[in-house]
Chain A
Amino acid sequence: MKKLMLGNEAVARGLFEAGCRFVSSYPGTPSTEITETAAEYDEIYAEWAPNEKVAAESAFGACVEGARSFTAMKHVGLNVATDLVFTASYTGVNAGFVIAVADDQGMHSSQNEQDSRHYAASAKLPMLEPSDSAECIDYVKLAYELSEEYDTPVFLRLSTRVSHSQSLVELGERTEIPVKPYVKNPAKYVMSPANAMRRHPAVEARTLRLLELANSDKINKVIRGGTKIGVIASGIAYDYAREALGDQASYLKLGMLFPLPTDLIREFAASVDKLYVIEELDPIIETHVRALGIACQGKELFSLIGEYTVTDIRAKLLGVPGDPVYAAEDVPVRPPVLCPGCPHRGLFYVLNKLKVSVSGDIGCYTLGAAAPLSAMDTTIDMGASISMLHGRIKANPASAKTTVAVIGDSTFIHSGLTGLINVAYNNSPATVIIADNSITGMTGHQPNPATGVTIKNQQTNAVNLEEAVRACGVRRVRVVDPYDTEALETILREELAAEEPSVVISRHPCALLKSVKRGKPLTIDADKCRRCRMCMRIGCPALSFETGHASIDASLCVGCGLCKSLCKFDCIG
């Protein structure tokens, strides 16, 4: 029976059916649900790792030991994992090893829109790209076959619109693949220069063998339609092109993005009048086609930036205007905001009040950059808050009194610890705030090593943040509840004044956690309200000033009391 399935759930289904035994990942939109769903299959061991590098290395260890293994990450997560990836390309595998990387064209939930296909070419690893959920299942199975047949890790490239779209799939049975025996083989797995020198030719030979596969019709497919327009596309861009042009065009649908075919492209190009390459982000296929000496149109028509649309493809290739029937109404924008009761709100309120410069990081708390809290100066990558603060203080020692780092608990475990060791070791009097909401919030409530709970909701060993911070060499460690803004402010003033590294753990669980009880909604006594707007400084979605005085939306308020603690006229209760 056919079933609707999210692309990410279908990848997990593919893992189940392909006999995968080991999954290790770090959450990252739009890849997160793959690992969450994999954890629901008892046949698969699944875990959250502290970061993508650890996850990829753990999965690769399982592969070397003989189990089909897997890791998933978002595009920027691959930047963290590549140290393993580039050399695992040389060693090859024992059992199959698949690395899923989900790009985020349009930056729905990311800090850049880098194109992961570059990594496949530079690490010389085959990369498959499905267009819908059915292909997600098929390509995972195919990836394992290729991985074992060609002795290589295999990339599975996804994108937001494939990962987070549902389409129909047919479910298959699981093929049990026994764990292969592990055989010691230093020439293959000890990548000393001498051994690596002997492995490199194997990589180049493998790419040539994969090129033969690329030129066959096993993965890359020609779909014949009209011959006036020929389109080369893959993944979600193929879906858009297919809908825009239908049978008016012929298509070369690339299921494999590295290596790219040669003869197949030549044959296809010769069979159509005009050739277009439709690929979101960088002109990777287009550059390859041009290098073959074949004329095509790509980026002179379509953008390097953001997502494509059916309407735009139709307009550019068929000249069909895409004007909407009803023009947009000018309505206020609705960007995401910190939730009512969010513990980060008190922290950013105090940071704003202290007028400090905030070296920020990646997570829900990045929303602290928005008005009216406006308490974040930089957000770059996972862990950069602490390391960048260190650099700022060394460049300008006086900034130690006016600058802090803010990093979440999960991000601190991911990449903050090493930055903090640098702060302690090279002794900058930095003030580092760990915004500990006891969960990985932005990606949808995944447990992390500081929570003491596994992906399967079982109790486990927990990182004690206070002890970890002290073990890094930091002597000044303070813990405070950010709902208590007075105490938080006092502590921050003391730590900013201190002449040595300090860590302030701002600890209160995420208001959305099921274990956190919602308080009774607060109300405002309109007669007492002096319209000072003090409560409006915290940017709470439950508070408004639309009626000429402060009022609270009882359906949103969780009774955290932050506004009440700020009101000087005692009108909130």
Chain B
Amino acid sequence: MLNIMIVGVGGQGSLLASRILGSLFISEGLDVKLSEVHGMAQRGGSVVTYIRAGENIASPLIPTGECDVIISFEKIEAARYLPWLKKNGMIVVNDQKISPLSVLTGAAEYPDDILDKIEKKGVKLIAFDALGAAAEAGSERAANVALLGAASREIGFSREAWENAIRSTVKPAFVELNLNAFEIGYQHS
């Protein structure tokens, strides 16, 4: 069974990444379940998408300690979901800081060293500027696909299968952009 979580801040848009993963797993003949957050948390709250692939998946949620790869759009969100990561699991994180309101107003402090702390626990970590990588590919909107590219080596499957999943998910006009973003992300892995 493959367990992947995409975490971030409501409104960042993890939909495309989870659709590409879903398409990849279906084309590999796997059973797939996926759980999303709608409603109130989307207003700037912490959000999580669970994606599971394998044979006969029962629960759409990933139990703590069983996630293979956490893809995070934001630094402290990666830390928030650490208890879900399995031993030797990997975190791929967009090296971006989005302060919650308590930090903005000065009531709480943003732990700027959070990625170092995670790495010291022995977690495999890939951190890079996914927005910058996506901008290099043509648009910041492809940041989630750049993160997927960085996670793809750990998740497995052939490069062709990934590219087909991207082709079959994004609009034709955006295929090249997303393939480029994927490749730039891949270089970070």
Contact = CB atoms under 8 A, between A and B. Distances in A.
Interface string A478-493: 0000000000000000
Contact of B82 (A33, A326, A337, A541): A326
Contacts of A443: 39
A414 interface: no
Closest 5 CB pairs of A and B: A109-B39, A29-B39, A324-B83, A165-B60, A336-B45
B61 interface: yes
A463 to B, nearest CB: 25
A159 to B, nearest CB: 11
A507 to B, nearest CB: 20
Interface of B: 9-11, 22, 26, 31-46, 57-61, 63-65, 76-77, 79-80, 82-87, 89, 99-111, 114, 117-118, 121, 123
A444 B111 contact: no
A243 B63 CA distance: 10
B61 A326 contact: no
B59 A29 contact: no
Contact of B44 (A4, A240, A339): A339
Contacts of A323: 65
B117 A329 contact: yes
Contacts of B22: 4, 166
28 contacts: A109-B41, A164-B37, A165-B35, A166-B32, A166-B36, A168-B31, A239-B59, A239-B60, A242-B59, A243-B57, A309-B64, A310-B63, A314-B63, A324-B82, A325-B83, A329-B82, A332-B102, A334-B45, A334-B76, A336-B40, A336-B45, A337-B45, A337-B101, A370-B101, A371-B107, A372-B105, A541-B101, A546-B103
B33 A310 contact: no
Contacts of B38: 29-30, 32-33, 109, 164, 444
Given A332-B102, A443-B39, A546-B103, 13 more contacts: A166-B34, A309-B63, A322-B63, A327-B83, A329-B80, A329-B114, A332-B109, A334-B76, A336-B45, A536-B104, A536-B106, A539-B105, A541-B104
A545 B110 CA distance: 12
Give the most central of B63, B87, B100: most A CB within 10 Å.
Answer: B63
A370 B64 CA distance: 30
A34 B114 CA distance: 40
Nearest to A163: B38
A212 to B, nearest CB: 30
Contacts of B9: 334
Contacts of A29: 38-40
Contacts of A63: none
Contacts of B117: 329
Given A324-B65, A331-B76, A336 B33 contact: no
A327 B87 CA distance: 12
Interface of A: 2, 4, 6, 29-30, 32-33, 108-109, 132, 161, 164-168, 236, 239-240, 242-243, 309-311, 314, 322-329, 331-339, 364, 367, 370-372, 442-444, 536, 539, 541, 543-546
Contacts of A339: 11, 43-44
A337 B33 contact: no
Contacts of B32: 4, 166-168
Contacts of A167: 32-34, 57, 60
B43 to A, nearest CB: 4
Contact of B33 (A166, A322, A442, A543): A166
Contacts of A309: 61, 63-64
A243 B110 CA distance: 37
Contact of A108 (B37, B103, B105): B37
B29 to A, nearest CB: 10
Among the interface residues B64, B79, B109, which one has the most CB atoms of the partner chain A within 10 A?
B64
Contacts, number: 183
A5 to B, nearest CB: 10
Nearest to B45: A336
B39 A331 contact: no
B34 A333 contact: no
B91 to A, nearest CB: 10
Contacts of B57: 167, 243
Contact of B58 (A242, A335, A444): A242
B81 to A, nearest CB: 8
Nearest to B22: A4
Contacts of B108: 332
Nearest to A3: B26
Given A164-B35, A239-B59, A334-B77, A2 B101 contact: no
Given A239-B58, A335-B45, A339-B44, A325 B86 contact: yes
A29 B100 CA distance: 24
A546 B106 CA distance: 7
B80 A364 contact: no
Given A168-B32, A326-B121, A442-B40, A334 B63 contact: no
A544 B123 contact: no
A168 B84 CA distance: 24
A168 B44 contact: no
Given A324-B65, A331-B114, A541-B44, A243 B37 contact: no
Interface centre among A164, A322, A372, A543 (most CB of B within 10 A): A164
B86 A333 contact: no
Given A326-B83, A334-B45, A311 B104 contact: no
A334 B79 contact: no
B42 to A, nearest CB: 7
A546 B110 contact: yes
B63 A165 contact: no
Contacts of B86: 325
A325 B114 contact: no
B165 to A, nearest CB: 12
A324 B61 contact: no
Contacts of B10: 336
B77 A108 contact: no
Contacts of A108: 37, 39-41
Given A166-B22, A329-B114, A544 B35 contact: no
Contacts of B45: 334-337
B106 to A, nearest CB: 5
Contacts of A372: 105
